[in-house]
Structure 1
Amino acid sequence: MYVTDAFALSAPATEPANVAAQLRDRVEIIDALYRFGLGQDLKDAALFASAFAADAELDFSPAAAKWGGKAPLMVGRDMIVSTILGLFDGRVDTTHQVTNPRVAVDGDTARLTALVEAQHLLIADRGTFALLKNPYAVDLVRDGDRWVVRRMRIDNAWHTGDPAAIFTA
């Protein structure tokens, strides 16, 4: 699941053009996950959708299983956007912080692992919240000059609060 390569870049420092290309890819790959989180936090459907390929898959079931919940496999950018934003819109405020991103690029595909801390707070009852620390495993594809998520699997390292109150409508 984790990207555990010993180096961040494979291009030697003596090849500045290759280093620059690899750095651009890494920034764009990590930015896909930033668009995912910030799109939710701002409830910005266009920004959120920009993180995904048209045929993307989002699997939240490993995280949900940690507290006895069930989550459907979401297939397709439109389903992911409507499901996630529809679940939270007018009901839940969120904040997402992305840490420890590791990237492995193979041509026009890439893998990204990261930790994401997600705070979910019910709008109607600020005493009901869930704070989640989730390891993400993300497969991405190149889409022109940017990268988009093809498959995202979200697990859960720990949580506090009441995630069932947040994720069950």
Structure 2
Amino acid sequence: MTDTISTSATLADLRDRAVITDTLHRYAAGLDLNDADLLASVLTEDAVVDLGPAMRRIGYDFPPLTPRETVVTTLIGAVGPLDTSHSISNVRITIDGDDATVLAYAQAQHFKPGSGSDPAVTRHALMMNRYTATMVRDGEQWRIRHLDIANAWFDGDALMLLGE
């Protein structure tokens, strides 16, 4: 009986970790695909996304975004139209009941709309960011309640991120 309980708990933990990682991937895909519904699906209604630490590192002041509707409208409006590719890696997860703390790297490449596949285009913004997220269980899903984005390094033209 103990083996069955242990196996069941292990499977539940692995499932949570897979769903939490998928939440980060869906966040990134929402941005890359300019998909407001997909982006909204990973956020709690009272979500906070704080890009301030990343943006200050490259010379811009950017307030935390909240609630979900503001997060989605702002990020889809700014990043959605760009040719972007966000890659999530090095995901580390600590689960405590229905709460989780998630640390990950996100490398994000940005090009002007329609120019990302043109090899002659060199103007870009490439960022390596560190994500620190708090997530909460919502039924079978996990959603981001708070996401802090800090920049590890940057290459390219920061003005690209402001639509210039």
Provide the TM-score with structure 1 as the length reference.
0.87
What does the per-residue CA deviation read over 1:27-82, in whole Å, with 9 as the maximum and x for residues that have no partner? 11111111110011111111111110000000000000111111121011110000
Structure 1, 80-89 or 139-148: larger mean CA deviation:
80-89
Which of 109, 112, 129 is matched with 1:134 structurally?
129
| Matching residue's letter, 2:108 | A
**Deviation of 1:22 (Å):** 0.2
| Matching residue's letter, 2:30 | G
The equivalent of 2:159 in structure 1 is 164
Secondary structure at the residue paired with 1:15?
Answer: helix
The equivalent of 1:5 in structure 2 is none
Count of residue pairs the alignment pairs up: 157
CA contact under 8 A between 1:97 and 1:118: conserved in structure 2? Answer: yes
| Matching residue's letter, 2:79 | F
The equivalent of 2:112 in structure 1 is 122
Distance 1:54 1:137 in 2: 18
CA RMSD between the two structures: 1.8
Where does the alignment leave 5 or more consecutive residues of structure 2 unmatched? 116-120
Aligned pairs (5 A) from 1:9-20: 15-20=6-11
Structure 1, 144-153 or 159-168: larger mean CA deviation:
159-168
CA contact under 8 A between 2:33 and 2:80: conserved in structure 1? Answer: no
CA contact under 8 A between 1:69 and 1:164: conserved in structure 2? Answer: no
**Deviation of 1:16 (Å):** 0.6
Which of 74, 81, 97 is matched with 1:107 structurally?
97
Classify 1:35/1:89 alpha carbon distance in 2 versus 1 (closer, same or farther; 3 Å): closer
| Matching residue's letter, 2:159 | A
CA contact under 8 A between 1:67 and 1:164: conserved in structure 2? Answer: no
More helix by share: 2
**Deviation of 1:164 (Å):** 2.8
Percent identity of the aligned residues? 36
Provide the TM-score with structure 2 as the length reference.
0.90
The equivalent of 1:84 in structure 2 is 75
2:145 is equivalent to residue 150 of structure 1? yes
